[in-house]
Every structure is written in C-alpha cells, then in structure tokens.
Structure 1
Amino acid sequence: MVLIGHFYRQYCTRSAPDNARQLVSLALLWLWSIRLKHSYLRREGWTLGAREDWRYADMRARNGRHWWWMSFFLVYAVQQLMLVGITLPLYSVHASALPWNPIWDGAAAAGCLLGIGIAAIADTQLHEFLTANERRQAGGKPPVLLLNTGLWRYSRHPNYFGEQLWWWSLGMFAVNVGQRWALAGALFNSLCMVGVTRLTEARMLARPERAALFREYQRRTSVWLPWFQRSCRTKQI
C-alpha cells in the first residue's frame, strides 16, 4: 500500500508538492503500515514466513487437490484487487488540486488515527493474552479460554473494527475531493472481512472446551462496533 501511495504521488499529482491532504494521507499510510508490520512480526516471534496463515491451511484441507488452482483466485487475485481497491482514495487525493479542508479533512485524519490506535491496542491485548497463556501452560496451569477484557469486552473483533475504521476514514479524504466512487475498495474490504470474521468465529466454536463460553460471548458482545454488553457478565475461566 505504501508503494502504491508513493506511485500516485509521483505520477498522478495535480497540485503543489506541499499539498497538506497528500502529505497527511501518506504519513498516515506509513503509520498504519508500521503498526501492521510490528503486529505481524511480534506475533510471529520476529521472523518472516515461519507459519502459514491458518485460514489458508484450512482451505487447503477442505479443497484437497483442487486448492492449487483455487488459491490463485481466492488468495492471490482477490488480494491484488483489494490492494488496488483500498488505495483508490490515495489516487483521488493526489489527482485533486483542492486545498486542505480543516473540518472535513481533519475529521478524516482523526478517524484514521483512531482506527490505527484501536487496532494497535486490540492487537497488543490479544498478544498479551496469548503470551500469558503460554506462560501458564509452561507452568502446568490451565489456559484462560476466552479474552473478554479491555477492548475485547466491548467487541468480539476490535482489531477488525479498527482496521475498517482506518480504511473508511482514509476513504473520506476521497469523498472530501468529490470522489465518492473511491469508497468501493473499502466496501469490498469490509465484505471480505465479514467472511474472515465468520471463519474466525467458526474456529473458536470448533474447540469443545471453549464453545459454550464463546456462544455466550457472542450473545452478549457486539461483533465489530464496540458497545456495552447486552446482559449479565460471564466470568473469565
């Protein structure tokens, strides 16, 4: 995404090189990228390619010998479309000569920062939960089966919500220059995240020792948008 953003700045710019909207959107893109890469490397023990994404491993197991050609469309082609689609707002920003709007562009920047912050906090809480469980198991203690504290108390997938807030807020920069069509990429990304959310929750429910707890968690807790729990609290075990 960062390379695409700089490509647009190099070849599509129709305004002065110090256009605030361009500079701010690129700075935010770099911040998002650094946050995501840090989260990935921390999760993987600071190594590259050590583990395959469990979702792709599950799809291979389900599709068997057909996976080699299905993966081209379901993984590679789709991700290339998503890369181009979700960076369309950056094209709109760099192709516009309109000046920075303090109110609307400021709101878009604030939304981007909030999305990045929520995703970063949620990923950190999840990482601490998983590493604490590893320490518990190494000490012969049973693991905690459900993360329902911090942001995870108010959303079952606060990291996904943060990501979606980031991309839709980035898209608001395009809306501010009259290019609403550039939100198509954010919409496509959100639709893909619906499928990812279902896969993740199905995996949680597949473990018998955690299924009942997670069903109760589903009943009480919002899927993406952080909100207050619906009824009584379930104790963490």
Structure 2
Amino acid sequence: MSATNWGALGVNLAATAATAPTVLLATFAVAVRLRLHRVVDIAWGLAFATVAAVTWLLSAGHGDDGRRSLVAAATILWGLRLAAHIAHRSRGHGEDPRYTALLAKAPGNRMLYALRTVYLGQAALVWLISLPVQAASYSSAPVDFLAYCAMAVWAAGLAFETIGDHQLARFKANPANRGRIMDEGLWAWTRHPNYFGDSLVWWGLYLLACTAWQPALAVVVSPILMTLLLTVGSGKRLLEKHMATRPGYAEYAARTSGFLPMPPKSTPAKPAATK
C-alpha cells in the first residue's frame, strides 16, 4: 500500500517556502539593475525548476525513486523550456505594458510595490502551484499505470504549448504577416494553445501525486489555480483585453475557441446589400 511521508514532506515544504522567494528576490535585484520588470516572466519557469530540483534532492530516501525522478525531470524540463522561450521572445524589447500599467497605479514607492505584488506574489504562487511536485516526491508508490497516464497528459500539454509557441514565432518572423492576426495551425483551434498546454502540463503533474486520496485532495488546488490564472487571471483575460482593438481580432475570436481546442466555426456569410 502506498503512503506519503508527511513528516519529511513538511520539512520539504518549509525549504521550498524559502527557495521560491530566493529566486524571485534575486530576479528583483536584476530587474532593479536593468530597470526592466519583464525579467520576472523568465524567472517564473526557473523558480518552478529550482523548487523541483530542491525537492528531488531532499526527498532522497523518503519516496519512490522512479516517481520522484519522473516528477522532477518533467517539472524542470517544462520550467527551463518556458524560461528559455520567454527570454528569447523578449530579447531586445523594452518593458512589458502590463508592468508599466501596474506600476503607474502604485501607491507610494513603485519598487517596493513591485516587490510586494509582483515578485513576492509570484513566489507564493510558485510554492502553492508546485505542491503536487512536492507531494509526489514523498510517495512510496512505484510508477504505475496512472503515472504513465499522467505523463501522457503532461507530454500532450508540453507538445501543445511548444508547437503553439513555435508556430507563433515563425508567423511573426515573416514580414508579410505584419499587422495580421495569427489564425493558423493550433491557433485556428484555440486562441491560446500555449495557455491550454500549460494547464494540461499541471493537470498531468497533479495526477502524478494521486497515489492515494489524501495527497490527491490536499494538492488539487494546484492545477485549479494554474488554470484559473491562465484563463481569468493574468493570462488570457489581460492578453485579450490588449488584443481587442487589433483589426480582425473580433472576427478571429468569433470563430475560434477561447481555451479548449475545438474545430473553428465557419464564418457566416455577410448579407447581400440591398438597393
């Protein structure tokens, strides 16, 4: 019968509660030096990868080696890919309009406000969302059929966001597409293949922690929170607000699913003009 070493997991939770803020505080120092807060987006994936690495080290001897290595590798691969992609995408660009707008409304010292709301806020989210990674690492359950299913969900999510990011980057690199709305490939099936992929990745990682009902119930907040962040939080909602004024976006949104991949709707024909 599988069991979770709750005592050792508690120590891990305390250690990662210090790890995540350390990564984000170091990022804040870099941002202050560069006067560029968009670097925090790169740190998002790096923080998850660091928490997974620390968890893998601390969980040695406390959980099944196959499961703890699997969840660590999956999280680190996802986090490093995301960080590398965002770093490449933002190279040569100035401040992200989201952070400019946020700091414009800051009461008092802008840097302290950014530290509190952006950096420490993200550190708390990293710790909370990474709970399945930590819980799975302290389970004695060997890799089983459900774990393989979990990895299939994770792999589908990683493939979806990687392909979506590649398709968008290739589209933007073509000067002929300047001013156009990307509506090809996966982007014809969902307006946010990268966000959908992210959500799927974390549901897969959550399933790796489902070795008994106690850990499954304790960490279900993680994939739910990640999905909410991507759909109604700082992901889809803010991006679509920014894109709403772009020519052709309303038509694209009318025929394309907002999150879950679905076949694009046919565009209704315009009524003939009457004389």
Identity %: 27
Aligned match of 2:207: 172
Say whether residues 1:21 and 2:67 are aligned partners: yes
Deviation by residue 1:42-97 (Cα, 9 ceiling, x = unmatched): 2134x7xx533331122223557575454344312320111101211121112111
Residue 104 of structure 1 deviates from its aligned partner by: 0.5
SS at match of 2:258: coil
Q: Does residue 1:114 correspond to 2:114, yes or no?
A: no
Q: Secondary structure at the match of 2:220?
A: helix
Give ranges in structure 2 of 5+ residues lacking alignment: 1-47, 270-275
Q: 1:41 is matched with which residue?
A: 87
Normalising by structure 2, what TM-score? 0.71
User: Is 1:228 paired with 2:271?
Assistant: no
Q: Which is bigger in relative contact order (C-alpha 8 A, separation at least 6)? A: 1
Provide, for residues 77-127 of structure 1, a one-character-per-residue CA deviation record: whole Å limited to 9, x for no partner: 3201111012111211121111111x2000101111111111111111111
2:129 maps to a residue whose letter is I
2:210, 2:223 → 1: CA distance?
A: 12
Aligned-partner residue type, residue 129 of structure 1: F
Q: 1:155 to 1:41 in 2, by over 3 A?
A: same
1:78 maps to which of 121, 142, 150: 121
Paired letter, 2:58: Y
Residue aligning to 2:229? 192
Structure 1 Cα separation of the partners of residues 165 and 262 of structure 2: 18
User: How many residues of Structure 1 are paired with residues of Structure 2 in the alignment?
Assistant: 217
2:173 equivalent to 1:131? yes
TM-score by structure 1 length?
Answer: 0.82
Moved more, 214-223 or 119-128: 214-223
| Structure 1 residues 20 and 217, CA gap change in structure 2 (3 angstroms) | same
- Rounded to whole Å, the distance in 2 between the matches of 1:56 and 1:233 is 38
1:130-156 deviation digits (Å, cap 9, x = unpaired): 111xx34xxxxx724210000000000
The 1:83–1:27 alpha-carbon spacing in structure 2 relative to 1, beyond 3 Å, is: same
Q: Secondary structure at the match of 1:167?
A: helix
The one-letter amino acid of 1:7's match is: V
Counting only pairs closer than 5 Å after superposition, residues 136-155 of structure 1 correspond to structure 2 as 136=176, 143-155=178-190
The answer on whether the counterparts of 1:9 and 1:94 sit within 8 Å (CA) in structure 2 is: yes
CA RMSD of aligned residues (A): 2.3
Match of residue 139 from structure 1: none
Contact 2:150 2:208 in 1 (8 A): yes
Structure 1 portions without partners, runs of 5+? 137-141
